Amino acid sequence: MLFSRLICLISEKISLKIISSSDIFDIKDLALIDGAQEDFQNDILYIGYYEQIVSRKIPPHCILVCTAETENLECYGHDVAVTDEKNLFSAVNAAKSLIDASRSKGLYAELMDCAAQTKSVTSFVNLAAAKLGNSVILLDSDYKVLAYSGVYPIDDPLWDQNIRQGYCSYEFISAVNEIDSVKNAPKTSEPIVVSCYASPLRKLSSKVFNGGQLIGFVIMLEKETPLSSLHFEMLPIISADAVDIIARFAPYLLPDSTHYQRLLYDLLIGAPPEKLAPHISKLSFSHRMCALRLSQSRNLGQKYLKEQAAEKLKSLLPGTQLTFHENGIAALISLGNSPDISTEQFSALKEFAESEHLHIGISAAFDKIENFANYYSQACRALELDRSLRGKNSVCRYTDFAFYDLLNSVKDTRCLSSFCHPALAVLRSYDTENNTELYHTLDVYLSCGQNIKTASEILFIHRNSLAYRLKRIFELTQIDFEDRSTCFLLEMSFRISRFAENILAESQHNPDISFM
């Protein structure tokens, strides 16, 4: 057992204070400081008076009686805690009981061995579920889903939804915190039974602590195996394992939230802005802001996203605040008084996305932090629309996709083609019959603002050839290129056509999945 975990458990009954903690070695035994020891072992917890240590060399792990000499000890690299003299014998008994329990080849050791071999939190959760005979879910203190077992199917509707979205909604969290058994739960890892009308299964919940700080919950769903006294004995052990395993193999899962991160996350999970008003009033925000969605184009894992990509983003755009949401980053960037993201900021994000294997969606600008969740959803939809339209952009502005988002809100997308200018159908038919490219030519010409030079370069044809094609287009459709309204309708028609084609391709590829 790690020193910090051992002290945390002892502190539930006895007052102790950690002076230093490194958690490098497992503690497997206990010894009293008797004044005769010359050397100390790395896997033993020593308890007693500092004054009795002849060499004045601090043991790797120790609980010392608080005296004048312990006040200014140099403890760096050692595990040291102090307690009052009156608590000494109680500390010895408590430590011995806990170490004896963990030293035996029991559940704790078996789970730790599994994690050590696989370096995987999910493997640990699966083994825990197998031992409990029921499904297990590991949450952090924000009710984000860190891991869940796959040994048994989790078909409880409420928890199935939580797992699919990767977090519990604000409404869900608020409802849970109003349950009597939760409100009256002890501030220890002692399990409590939780049941509610919205979920058919009873749950057994144990809090997970790290250094006295609540960092999460282990939840067991009662389905395959009826709740028993054995479950009440086992779940605190699994909870103790969880914190040790996370600290060793997935420290990036430990909470490290600022007030800004907390606020952004609460807004994303549906917290009413009026409930957050007291917190918002204490924070400072730019006059204009943008929301970003960052997701990985190459799966380098959550560790990389949290420990490297996030820090690089904050360094790239100083003042950026962020939180982690749905396997990605939700970020808030400052625009100052600018009406929109600058060319320099966009270029920096594009270079960053390409070097870090990311896709970045950018919302429209906004000025009230209460609207962060709505604008973050714009950034997400920009990425979704770019992907659906077969785009290959590493950075996508919502403003470039707003028209497609509008089309996506049409209930019956099959009718979209009826809104297209009839000239498009004429040109398509002519191209098919004559093996020409008038349809594509008109599309490029209009997208270039009717600039002959630019359009001819994109089409890789001479300017005279483009002029000939435009003349032929006019003969077939009678389009008046001088009429702004007509040109606007044609441009929109090309966009509608592209969108409708992608809907059709998507439905043919997977008939069971509707667009977006």
Query: How do residues 320-333 score in pLDDT, each as one tens digit?
Result: 999 998 889 999 99
Residue 205: both structure tokens together: 């919940």
- What is the band of 69 on the pLDDT scale with cuts at 50, 70, 90? confident
Determine which of 69-83, 268-282, 494-508 has the lowest per-residue pLDDT on average: 494-508
Confidence check: pLDDT of 309 > 50: yes
Contacts with 130 (C-beta within 8 Å, 6 or more apart), sequence order: 149, 151
| % residues pLDDT > 90 (the chain) | 49
Average pLDDT (109-133) is: 86
Contact 364, 378 (CB under 8 A): yes
pLDDT of 154-210, one tens digit each? Answer: 988 899 999 998 899 999 999 999 999 999 998 899 999 998 877 888 999 999 998
Rounded Cα distance between 514 and 173, Å, is: 31
Contact 496, 488 (CB under 8 A): no
- What is the band of 515 on the pLDDT scale with cuts at 50, 70, 90? very low
pLDDT of 426-436, one tens digit each? Answer: 999 999 999 99
Confidence check: pLDDT of 389 > 70: yes
Of 89, 69, 82, the C-alpha closest to 17 is: 82
Residue 277: both structure tokens together: 């008003």
Rounded Cα distance between 360 and 383, Å, is: 7
Q: Residue 327: its pLDDT value, please?
A: 87
What residue ranges define each of the domains in the chain, with the CATH number in brackets? 3-103 (3.40.1390), 107-253 (3.30.450.40), 259-404 (3.30.70.270), 413-509 (1.10.10.2840)
- What is the band of 84 on the pLDDT scale with cuts at 50, 70, 90? very high
295: which strand partners? 359
Confidence check: pLDDT of 512 > 50: no
Determine which of 22-36, 97-111, 341-355, 357-371 has the lowest per-residue pLDDT on average: 97-111
196 or 32, greater pLDDT: 32
Alpha-carbon distance values, 442 to 390, 472, 495 (Å): 21, 11, 13
208: which strand partners? 216
Confidence check: pLDDT of 86 > 80: yes
> What's the distance, CA 419 to chain centroid?
41
Confidence check: pLDDT of 463 > 80: yes
Rounded Cα distance between 154 and 87, Å, is: 46
Contact 180, 193 (CB under 8 A): no
Q: Residue 322: its pLDDT value, please?
A: 93
Alpha-carbon distance values, 368 to 187, 192, 372 (Å): 37, 41, 7
Long-range contacts of 195-200 (CB under 8 A, 24+ apart): 198/158, 199/156, 199/157, 199/158, 199/159, 200/156
DSSP H helices in 255-365 = 259-268, 273-280, 302-304, 310-316, 343-355
Q: Residue 8: its pLDDT value, please?
A: 87
Q: What spatial distance separates the first Cα and last Cα of the chain, rounded to whole Å?
A: 49
Rounded Cα distance between 73 and 10, Å, is: 22
- What is the band of 404 on the pLDDT scale with cuts at 50, 70, 90? confident
> Residue for token digits 């459709």?
477
Confidence check: pLDDT of 105 > 60: no
Contact 263, 252 (CB under 8 A): no
Is the pTM here over 0.75, yes or no? no
User: Average pLDDT, whole number, for the chain?
Assistant: 88
**Roughly what angle, to the nearest 10 degrees, separates helices 484-509 and 422-434?**
70
DSSP state at residue 306: I
The DSSP code sequence of 7-38 is HHHHTTTS--EEEE----S---EEEE--S--S
